[in-house]
Each structure stands twice: as structure tokens, then as C-alpha cells.
Amino acid sequence: MAQLTGAQIIWESLVKEGVEVIFGYPGGAILPTYDAMLDYPIHHVLTRHEQGATHAADGYARASGKVGAVIVTSGPGATNTVTGLATAMLDSSPIVCITGQVGSSVLGSDAFQEVDVTGITLPITKHNYLVTRADDIARTIHEAFYIAKSGRPGPVLVDITKDAQNAKTEFVYPTQVEMHKRHEHLLSESQLKRAAEMIDQAERPVILAGHGVLISGAMRQLRDLAEKTQTPVALTLLGIGVFPREHPLCLGMMGMHGEAYANRAVQAADLVIGIGMRFDDRVTGNLKTYSPHSKKIHIEIDRSEIAKNVHVDLPLVGDAAGVMDQLIPLVSAQQRHNWIEQIDEWADDTRARDILKRDASGKLLPPHVIGDLWQATGGDAIVVSDVGQNQMWEAQYYRHSAPRSLITSGGLGTMGFALPAAMGVKFARPEAEVWVVAGDGGFQMTAAELQTIQQESLKINIAILNNGFLGMVRQWQEFFYQRRYAATPITSPDFVKLADAHGIAGIRVTKREDVIPAIQTARDHPGSMLIDFRVESEESVYPMVPAGADLHAMIRRPVEAS
């Protein structure tokens, strides 16, 4: 059997795992592996910062459902991945991150560019490994990919010492993963029957669908369950896309910036069915007053999420699709006219306040930009949003109908996520129309990746909602800190010139009537294009449930104001 170096084994293993593209940045401790890379059919994307590499791999994973791959050097290269790993961890996104490490003989000696990366990333990875022998590389990488994508997915880090990369050994790729089997909690007939009874008997049920539905691929089951039992569906931010926004039973997003009528429905419900979601504080508001009249069924693969935040009357632990497959035949078909009409009545109020119907009287309002983007793209784009107001407006006004069509950092809320993540999205779905929606603040955090886009000749459209503020923080200051705008006014470079400097086309839009033409120009342009939307600077996201407040205590957009 031929002897391979550890470095070669890393690439052999990645090829075996089906990796086609890897995002990374070289350096001393990973040099042997970079040297070996040239002999393997994996495309390496040199991002401009290791954080960008992790977000790109994350975007790739979220857009494809496959595992994203990252490779970086030790020390500062490794610490730069921390934000990206934490982002992937909080959003259950499967990535495998390979970090170079100093030689095993000097481990623990504070050698040049040595950092205890397995220690640092312990709480922000699903699992991590320190590999000091070439013999262990293949098995570890195989396990890492398995762990990243199985059960509730998440990031896995593999730290490999330089001597392990250099050492030679036989390469045998494992065909099995040797892991401890968990005793499966099979759902009992009686649990499922009880769930069906609860659903049958409910008068005001609501389904809360989250990212778990997407991960499980349970979109059809969700639809069947909702339609058969005529149960309205509210979505978490990461659940957007698992149930079509235009479906008559879709209530849109719930929670802090959710639809007011969705939140009202949750508060008035007598049964809440959480599916692949975790009752996050952004979704529940004050737990003490959260959906006070409802019984709760929780369909969730991660047992540690059951009864973590809210009391659950009936947990159904398992994969969302599998659980619903068993449940759907047991529930009876229902009509719930009263309940649905009631919610629709509440929605009237939202329609009355809808800013899209208002004349902006010459101002460029961010919701209008998003609404126009939705129209101009026919709702068919993949939108990668950043964090802040832009993210919430995107979630509210881009009416997503397809799974994986919104990619955003939910749990960690990582500013600077969108641009690098969009690169991964484009690699995963080259045929798709990809749009970045970002604020002027977040965009500047990772704007250096414009050059990566250029180097890779990617076609990505970028919409910056440029309001001259760290808008979401400014909004909190407006509402809760007497408009004391501490450190939220922010200047920006001329984004059009910045794009130009990177070899990317840019245009500026200041008027509503120019929005759709600009979007069309970007769509028709063969290369990437950036649009600097100079939007109203002090517009706020409505409705808003203040942090920790009751879900029904929403700050609404004034009816009269324009």
C-alpha cells in the first residue's frame, strides 16, 4: 500500500467526503497541506479574512444542505474563525473547519502562532479534535463530517499538528463511523395518539415552524399537517421559506419583529405546535406571559431543547419529517373558519398600517426597497441578509416561498455575515440569482470580500440599505434611550467608488422611482453589482416587541404617520 503524507490524507479524505470547494487562508502551520492541495480536484477560495471563510462555508452549507469546508492556519488564522464557528453553531449549520497547529513536540509551549484552538472553540463547536498523528487523520475527518451533518447539525473543528501533516502513513478511508449509539427514543403509539387528540380538540391551534423543518426536509409534511388540520403556520426567522409566504395559512414571521397578527395568534392560541424550533427569546418575549392559554406540543430532534424555555405538555422527540409522517394519518381533517377569520381580522389592522401602501412623499424608505426587490426578482432570488434593520425588513417584505431562499445569521446575529456567506451560496447554487441585503455598518465589517468575489468572478448582487446609522441600535436608542445616539452615526466610504476599486460595478439610488430600474440593471449586468440605496436615515422597524416584554405588547407603526 502506498504511503501518503498526512497532508495528502487530508485532501484524500475531503475528496472522499464529496468536498468540491473549500474556503481558506494559508499560513505556516498549514503549509504542508496547502502544498499538497495542488494535486487534488478541490477548488480553494482565498477569502480576505478567515471569518469570511467560515461564513462562506456556512452559506454554502445552508444553501446546499451539504457540509461546508474551511481550512486555515494556526494561531491568528484559527482565532479569526471563532465568530464564524459560533454563527454556525447557533444556527445549526454543518461546517468542518481544519486548522493547522504547531508541531506536537512544542504543543503547550506557547510556540510561535500556537493557540489552544480546541480549548477556545469547545463551547462553539458541536465537537472538536486535536490530531497529532497522521494515522488518525482519515478517521477523524470522516467522523467530523458525520458529526457535522447528523442529528442537529453544527460546526466541527479539526486541529492538525504540522508534524502529523508531514508524517507518512498508509491511507485507508474508513467506511464506518465508530460512535456510541444513543438509545433511540422511539415515539410510542400513545404519545402520537395523544398529540393527534390535542390537535383535533384544539379550537385555536398554531404551528410554529423553524429551521429544523428545513434541516429535516419536512416541508411537504408541514404543509400536509397544516392543510389537513387547517392550522395556521407562523415562522421563525430561520424558518422563513419552509412554508410559502403566499399560502393562505401562512402568518409570516413571529416574534420581536414578527407580524402583529402572528404574535396575537400565538398569544390567543389554545394549542401551540413547535416544530424544529427552540422557543428562543426573540420568538417568545416574556416567558411568563407567553401564549398563556395554550397547551404545547414540541416536535424537536434535540432533546435538550425540550422544556428548556417553555413548559411542554407533549414532547415528540425526533426528526421533524419522521414525526409528522406518523402524526398526519392520526389527525382528522378540520375546518377552523372562526379561528382563521379571527386572525384575518387582526391582519386587517396590519394591512391598514402597511408602509408599502403609503406614499413615501419623496423619501426612499427601506421597506419599499425590499418590496421592490421582491417584485423585480419575482420572489425567486436567494437573499443573503446581514444583521440589523435590513435583516428584519428583508424578512418582513421579501415574501419567500422557497426553502433555502433566505440565508441569514439568526441565533448569533453576526454583522458582516452576508457578503462572505453569499459567496458560499453562489458556489452551492451557481444558477441562482443571489442578492446580498446589508446595512452600511455590517457591510463595512467584511467588505474586503468584494475582492474575493472579483477574484472568483462570482455574480452576486449587493443591495446596501445605507442609512448613515447602525440602524437597529439607533432604533433602540430612539425607543428606549431618549434618542441619545451614542456611537450609532456611521460614515461610509463612497460605496460606488469602493466597488469600482474592486472592479465591481456600482450605482447609487436616492429616489423610489429608480429602485426597480437599478435592480434590473444589476440583474442584467453579467458581473457582480453593488447598489448603494441612500435610504431614510431614521426609519424604524415595526412592529417591535421590546426585549423581554410581553409578546402582545408591540410597538406599532403609527397609522397616520408617513
Ligand X SMILES: Cc1ncc(C[n+]2csc(CCOP(=O)(O)OP(=O)(O)O)c2C)c(N)n1
With CB cut-offs between 5 and 8 Å by kind, which of another protein, ligand X, none does residue 306 bind? Answer: another protein
Report the candidate in 22, 153, 158 with the shortest Cα–Cα distance to residue 88: 153
Which residue out of 162, 295, 296, 426 is catalytically annotated?
A: 162
Does residue 533 have an active-site annotation? no
In the complex, minimum distance from the CB of residue 160 to another protein, in angstroms, rounded to a whole number: 16
- Should residue 471 be labelled a site residue for ligand X when binding is judged by CB under 6 A? yes
- Should residue 390 be labelled a site residue for ligand X when binding is judged by CB under 6 A? yes
Q: Which of 415, 419, 434, 507 binds ligand X (CB under 6 A)?
A: 415
- Should residue 367 be labelled a site residue for ligand X when binding is judged by CB under 6 A? no
Whose Cβ is closer to another protein: residue 139's or residue 368's?
Answer: 139
In the complex, minimum distance from the CB of residue 499 to ligand X, in angstroms, rounded to a whole number: 17
Cβ-based burial of 123 (10 A; exposed 0-12, middle 13-18, buried ≥19): exposed
With CB cut-offs between 5 and 8 Å by kind, which of another protein, ligand X, none does residue 147 bind? Answer: another protein
Kindly give, in sequence order, each residue whose CB lies less than 8 Å from that of residue 513, ignoring residues fewer than 6 positions away. Answer: none
Report the alpha-carbon distance of residue 202 to residue 229 in Å, rounded: 10
Directed axis angle between helix 50-64 and helix 418-428, to 10°? 50
Tallying the residues shown for the chain, one arrives at 562
The DSSP string of 449-478 is HHHHHHHTT---EEEEEE-SB-HHHHHHHH
Sign of CA dihedral 554, 467, 437, 422: negative
Which residue out of 112, 479, 480, 511 is catalytically annotated?
A: 112
Does residue 113 have an active-site annotation? yes
With CB cut-offs between 5 and 8 Å by kind, which of another protein, ligand X, none does residue 470 bind? Answer: ligand X
Whose Cβ is closer to another protein: residue 94's or residue 468's?
Answer: 94
Whose Cβ is closer to another protein: residue 132's or residue 342's?
Answer: 132
DSSP-assigned beta bridge partners for residue 534 = 466
The DSSP string of 119-142 is HHTGGGSSEEEEE-SGGGHHHHHH
Whose Cβ is closer to another protein: residue 315's or residue 413's?
Answer: 315
Per-residue b or e along 297-332, where b marks 16 or more CB atoms closer than 10 Å to that residue's CB:
bbbbbeeebbeeebebbbbbbbbbbbbbebbeeebe
Whose Cβ is closer to another protein: residue 12's or residue 300's?
Answer: 300
Number of residues that bind ligand X (CB under 6 A): 20
Does residue 126 have an active-site annotation? no
With CB cut-offs between 5 and 8 Å by kind, which of another protein, ligand X, none does residue 389 bind? Answer: ligand X
Q: Which of 442, 460, 515, 532 binds ligand X (CB under 6 A)?
A: 442
Phi and psi at residue 432, to the nearest 5°: -80, 155
The DSSP string of 198-234 is HHHH-SSEEEEE-HHHHHHT-HHHHHHHHHHHT--EE
With CB cut-offs between 5 and 8 Å by kind, which of another protein, ligand X, none does residue 388 bind? Answer: ligand X
Stretch that binds ligand X, among 126-134, 170-178, 242-250, 433-441 (CB under 6 A): 433-441
Does residue 112 have an active-site annotation? yes
- Should residue 421 be labelled a site residue for ligand X when binding is judged by CB under 6 A? no
DSSP 8-state secondary structure symbol assigned to residue 171: -
- Should residue 408 be labelled a site residue for ligand X when binding is judged by CB under 6 A? no
In the complex, minimum distance from the CB of residue 551 to another protein, in angstroms, rounded to a whole number: 24
Stretch that binds ligand X, among 127-135, 375-383, 435-443, 522-530 (CB under 6 A): 435-443
What are 470's three cell numbers? 447602525
Phi and psi at residue 332, to the nearest 5°: -95, 150
Which single residue is written with the C-alpha cell 498508509? 170
Whose Cβ is closer to another protein: residue 106's or residue 307's?
Answer: 307
In the complex, minimum distance from the CB of residue 480 to another protein, in angstroms, rounded to a whole number: 27
Q: Are 499 and 506 in contact (CB under 8 A)?
A: yes
Would you tell me how many other CB atoms lie within 10 Å of the CB of residue 543?
Answer: 19
The residues assigned a catalytic role are: 50, 112-113, 162, 472
By CB under 6 A, name the binding residues for ligand X: 386-390, 413-416, 439-442, 465, 467, 469-473
